[in-house]
């Protein structure tokens, strides 16, 4: 039994030694200059967004594929098994009303995070996750049926596939005219303004839609499988 | 070593011990989530080791801004963690439906008994 305790502790100690020896020492002035040049090159005030959606756009594309694969896996494994009987627990009046009140602000905050992702902390993934949290709240309070009534099943599933195809085309089409990254298809604009950063806000919006639809599908399949949250 | 890095290393060790020692599958998944959280904390706090500011904003000076590249890796960690947890939870649900327990050792024993039969 002592081995299973000592081994992780030894691994953690090794990590600590490596970090003490090498961690945080690699930042040079050249890297910092490159970081500020990112804003001028892409027009995005948020340099992390500039890295994620411009310099490493293909990496983000494959992250989106990983997300889509997870949603597909959940759908595949839960669709074939039984569908639970749709018996809903009667939540209290306060919880139900609170969920109804909190859903619009959650959706609004998600859209805000997606649209302003290139100016301030946020972005497509977090925006979609926040909006999907609103959906989870409604599912907890009102049950799966209310959610299914509010968002039609087939409609969101089609949206999910369509958004993935649109992003794929937007990312891969510029290869045909030998532009390495599609963000330069639109002018970078003035950093700090809302319409800046080229295609970065559009990518953010599409990714948030994809994450929203995917998270909704995961919630929906889990709830439909169990019958309750 | 900023406080964030120290906390990240401690959390990582704690979560790894929990991942190995806890027998409940759901607790194992919680420990996996904790490992992911400590990794994210490490990635965010490492470039801030020299008292730099966040790399967000128009007027941030190049010498005081943190390197945005490690922070961009956080996205990969979060997405992979989501995919991992969602799929693992599905498998736990399927196991629970079949064996009616989340105890890893009990499930292993039940599987062995089924194979012997």
What ipTM describes this predicted complex?
0.83
Q: Which of A160, A159, A209, A180 is nearest to A57 (CA)?
A: A180
Interface A–B counts its CB contacts (< 8 A) at 129
Q: What is the pLDDT of residues B50-84, one digit of tens each?
A: 667 777 777 666 667 777 788 888 888 889 999 99
- Residues in A touching B55 (Cβ below 8 Å): 35, 46-48
Contact yes or no for B71/B42 (Cβ under 8 A): no
pLDDT band at A117 (very low <50, low <70, confident <90, very high): confident
Q: Do A39 and B58 touch (CB under 8 A)?
A: yes
Q: Do B68 and A225 touch (CB under 8 A)?
A: no
CA distance B43 to chain A (A): 11
Q: Do A74 and B21 touch (CB under 8 A)?
A: no
Position A146 scores a pLDDT of 66
Q: How many whole angstroms separate alpha carbon B55 and alpha carbon A113?
A: 17
Total domain count, chain A: 1
Q: How far is the CA of A139 from the CAs of A11, A147, A156, B25, B58, in angstroms?
A: 41, 6, 16, 25, 40
Q: Which of A219, A207, A23 is nearest to A124 (CA)?
A: A207
Find, in chain A, the residue whose alpha carbon is nearest to that of B73. Answer: A52
CB nearest to B75's CB, from A70, A125, A191: A125
In terms of residue numbers, what domain contains B82?
A: 3-116
CA distance A93 to chain B (A): 30
Total domain count, chain B: 1
Structure tokens at A111: 């859209």
Tell me, what CATH number does B84's domain have?
1.10.287.3510
Q: Do B63 and A4 touch (CB under 8 A)?
A: no
In terms of residue numbers, what domain contains A146?
A: 43-226
Query: What is chain B's mean pLDDT, rounded?
Result: 86
Contact partners, residue B27, CB within 8 Å, separation at least 6: B18
Taking residues B15-23, report their average pLDDT.
Answer: 92
Q: Do A47 and B17 touch (CB under 8 A)?
A: no
A189 touches chain B (CB under 8 A): no
Structure tokens at A116: 């302003």
pLDDT band at A168 (very low <50, low <70, confident <90, very high): confident
Q: Do A70 and B56 touch (CB under 8 A)?
A: no
CA distance B49 to chain A (A): 6
Q: Classify residue A21: in a domain, yes or no.
A: no
Q: Classify residue A72: in a domain, yes or no.
A: yes
Q: Which of A153, A212, A19 is nearest to B4 (CA)?
A: A19
Contact partners, residue B99, CB within 8 Å, separation at least 6: B106, B107, B110
Taking residues A123-136, report their average pLDDT.
Answer: 88
Global pTM reads 0.79
Q: What is the pLDDT of residues B98-109, one digit of tens each?
A: 888 889 899 999
Position A29 scores a pLDDT of 47
Q: Classify residue A209: in a domain, yes or no.
A: yes
- For residue B65, the SS3 value is strand
Q: Which of A218, A199, A111, A202 is nearest to A160 (CA)?
A: A218
- Residues in B touching A4 (Cβ below 8 Å): 20-21
Q: Do B50 and A27 touch (CB under 8 A)?
A: yes
pLDDT band at A138 (very low <50, low <70, confident <90, very high): confident
CA distance A94 to chain B (A): 30
Q: Classify residue A146: in a domain, yes or no.
A: yes
**Which residue matches tokens 């909006």?**
A131
């Amino acid at each position: 039994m002592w081995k299973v305790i000592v081994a992780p502790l030894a691994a953690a100690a090794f990590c600590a030694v490596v970090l003490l020896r090498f961690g945080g020492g690699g930042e040079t002035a050249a890297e910092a200059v490159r970081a500020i040049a990112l804003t001028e090159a892409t027009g995005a005030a948020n340099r992390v967004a500039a890295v994620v959606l411009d310099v490493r756009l293909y990496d983000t594309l494959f992250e989106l594929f990983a997300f889509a694969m997870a949603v597909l896996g959940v759908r595949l494994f839960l669709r074939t098994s039984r569908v639970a009987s749709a018996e809903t627990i009667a939540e209290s009046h306060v919880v139900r009303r609170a969920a109804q009140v909190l859903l619009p602000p959650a959706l609004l905050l998600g859209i805000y995070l997606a649209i302003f992702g290139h100016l301030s902390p946020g972005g497509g993934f977090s925006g979609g996750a926040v909006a999907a949290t609103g959906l989870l709240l409604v599912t907890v309070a009102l049950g799966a049926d209310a959610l299914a009534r509010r968002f039609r099943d087939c409609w969101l599933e089609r949206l999910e596939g369509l958004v993935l195809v649109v992003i794929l085309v937007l990312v891969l089409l510029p290869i045909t005219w030998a532009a390495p990254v599609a963000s330069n298809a639109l002018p970078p604009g003035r950093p700090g303004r809302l319409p800046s950063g080229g295609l970065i806000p559009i990518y953010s919006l599409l990714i948030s839609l994809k994450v929203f639809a995917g998270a909704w599908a995961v919630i929906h399949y889990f709830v439909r499988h169990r019958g309750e949250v | 070593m900023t406080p964030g890095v120290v906390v990240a290393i401690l959390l990582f060790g704690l979560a790894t011990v929990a991942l190995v020692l806890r027998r409940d599958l759901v607790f194992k998944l919680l420990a996996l989530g904790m490992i992911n959280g400590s990794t994210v904390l490490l990635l965010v706090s490492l470039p801030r080791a020299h008292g730099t500011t966040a790399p967000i904003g128009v007027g941030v000076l190049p010498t005081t801004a943190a390197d945005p590249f490690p922070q961009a890796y956080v996205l990969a960690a979060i997405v992979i963690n989501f995919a991992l947890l969602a799929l693992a939870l599905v498998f736990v649900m399927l196991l629970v439906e079949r064996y009616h327990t989340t105890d890893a050792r009990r499930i292993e024993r039940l599987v062995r008994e089924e194979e012997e039969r």
